[in-house]
């Protein structure tokens, strides 16, 4: 199957000199930015055979499973992290069952900062206790379920963690990291060099990038009107990777779509600031490259299930 580990790029994007003062960095960067806010109008035509329809969600936090939110039909569902509040086994299993109830042929999921049990570093230390997770008790639960790692509980999706997948000739990469703001949370690093090193692992030949955190300046505005995204991710996306779509979440208030002339940025946060699942999934169609067909989705899924 086309599931690939991190493949470091040979092209380095230098750390921005104002990375610790992202507002100042944006004052300089925005001169060359022309972000266009796009309306969130889902495609009106039926799903075609020469396109893959992607349905994007994020930050559901265990709330969507018991909500009346309608998830549009499509070929591939993308979830950009924070599918739980605390990474507890019950939350994960409920989310997995929810994924199984959805009609999409493939589901792609990454973790976020709330999904603490997916981060080995957090789980192996004492930080997870702040989320009510005790490693010994957690491991005992996994043993009872006959799994070695919590990721194995996600049986209804393809889980990406700094790894890539190719579906119908479309290259997709997923990464869970976000900027550190609370020490007990998962997949967090400091601005600057630490984040820059992580983004170096994003491959060049991408069509769709899925991260938990937003780039700086795109879908990252909080209720206090502060931009809190990652400057290094913005430079990586615009100067090197240049994907057609960048799907993320993390900042609930930043829900929506933007276009910079090359990349469409999608903050697919389902929950609003009050953790209510009120934001509609964002949908887009992607043309299938020549030499590939939609039949590959089913073939891939059969191989993935056979090897899981």
The pLDDT assigned to 236 comes to 96
Contact assessment for residue 87 and residue 186, using Cβ atoms and an 8 Å cutoff: yes
Confidence class of residue 293 from pLDDT cuts 50, 70 and 90? very high
The pLDDT assigned to 216 comes to 93
Q: Which residues pair with 210 in a beta bridge?
A: 174, 247
Residue 3 clears pLDDT 50, i.e. is over it: no
Contact assessment for residue 237 and residue 274, using Cβ atoms and an 8 Å cutoff: no
CA dist 199 → 79, 209, 232 (Å)? 19, 11, 8
Quick: pLDDT tens for 191-204.
Answer: 999 999 999 999 99
What is the C-alpha to C-alpha distance for residues 297 and 212, in angstroms, rounded to an integer? 24
Quick: pLDDT tens for 232-277.
Answer: 999 999 999 999 999 999 999 999 999 999 999 999 999 999 999 9
Q: Which residues pair with 167 in a beta bridge?
A: 170
Helices 89-101 and 135-144, packing angle to 10 deg: 40
The pLDDT assigned to 6 comes to 42
The structure's pTM equals: 0.93
Confidence class of residue 307 from pLDDT cuts 50, 70 and 90? low
- CA geometry: angle at 97 spanning 96 and 103, to 5°? 100
The pLDDT assigned to 11 comes to 65
CA dist 289 → 79, 168, 203, 230, 306 (Å)? 23, 7, 19, 31, 26
Mean pLDDT confidence for 106-123: 95
Quick: pLDDT tens for 124-164.
Answer: 877 777 777 888 888 899 999 999 999 999 999 999 999 99
Dihedral (C-alpha) 260, 263, 265, 266: value to the nearest 10 degrees? 140
Q: Taking the mean position of all CA atoms in its chain, how far away is CA 165?
A: 13
Residue 83 clears pLDDT 90, i.e. is over it: yes
Confidence class of residue 181 from pLDDT cuts 50, 70 and 90? confident
| DSSP line for the chain | --EE-----SSPPPPPTTTTSHHHHHHHHGGG---EEEP-----SPPPTTEEEEEEEB--TTTGGGS-PPPPP-SEEEE-S--SSS--HHHHHHHHHHHHHS--SEEEE---TT-GGG-HHHHHSSGGGGGT--HHHHHHHHHHTT-SSGGGG-TTSEE-SSEEEEETTEEEEEE--EE-SSTTSSSEE-TTHHHHHHHTTS-SS-SEEEESSPBTTSS-B-TTS-B-SBHHHHHHIIIII--SEEEE-S-GGG-EEEE-SS-EEEE-B-B-TTS-B-SPPEEEEEEPPTT--THHHHHHHHHHHHH-
Work out the mean pLDDT of the chain and round it to a whole number.
91
The pLDDT assigned to 2 comes to 40
- Regarding beta strands 178-179 and 188-189, do their DSSP bridges make them parallel or antiparallel, or are they unpaired? parallel
């Amino acid at each position: 199957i086309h599931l690939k580990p991190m493949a470091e790029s040979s092209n380095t994007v230098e750390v921005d000199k104002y990375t610790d003062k992202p507002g100042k960095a944006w004052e300089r960067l925005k001169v060359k930015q022309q972000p266009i806010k796009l309306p969130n109008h889902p495609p009106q035509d039926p799903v075609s055979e020469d396109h893959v329809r992607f349905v994007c969600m994020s930050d559901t936090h265990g709330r969507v499973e018991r909500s009346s939110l309608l998830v549009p039909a499509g070929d591939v569902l993308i979830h950009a992290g924070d599918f739980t509040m605390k990474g507890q086994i019950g939350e994960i299993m409920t989310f997995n069952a929810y994924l199984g109830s959805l009609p999409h042929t493939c589901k792609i999921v990454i973790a976020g900062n709330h999904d603490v049990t997916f981060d080995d570093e957090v789980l192996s230390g004492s930080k997870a206790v702040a989320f009510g997770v005790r490693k010994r008790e957690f491991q005992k639960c996994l043993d009872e379920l006959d799994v070695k790692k919590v990721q194995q509980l996600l049986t209804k999706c393809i889980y990406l963690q700094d790894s890539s997948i190719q579906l119908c000739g479309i290259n997709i990469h997923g990464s869970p990291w976000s900027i550190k703001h609370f020490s007990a949370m998962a997949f967090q690093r400091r601005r600057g060099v630490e984040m820059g090193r992580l983004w170096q692992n994003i491959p060049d030949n991408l069509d769709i990038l899925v991260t938990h955190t937003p780039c700086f300046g795109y879908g990252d505005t909080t209720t206090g009107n502060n931009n809190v995204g990652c400057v290094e991710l913005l430079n990586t996306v615009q100067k090197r990777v240049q994907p057609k779509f960048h799907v993320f979440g993390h900042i609930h208030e930043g829900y929506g779509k933007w276009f910079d002339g090359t990349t469409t940025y999608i903050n697919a946060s389902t929950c609003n600031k009050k953790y209510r699942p009120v934001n509609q999934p964002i949908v887009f169609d992607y043309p299938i490259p020549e030499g590939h067909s939609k039949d590959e989705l089913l073939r891939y899924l059969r191989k993935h299930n056979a090897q899981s």
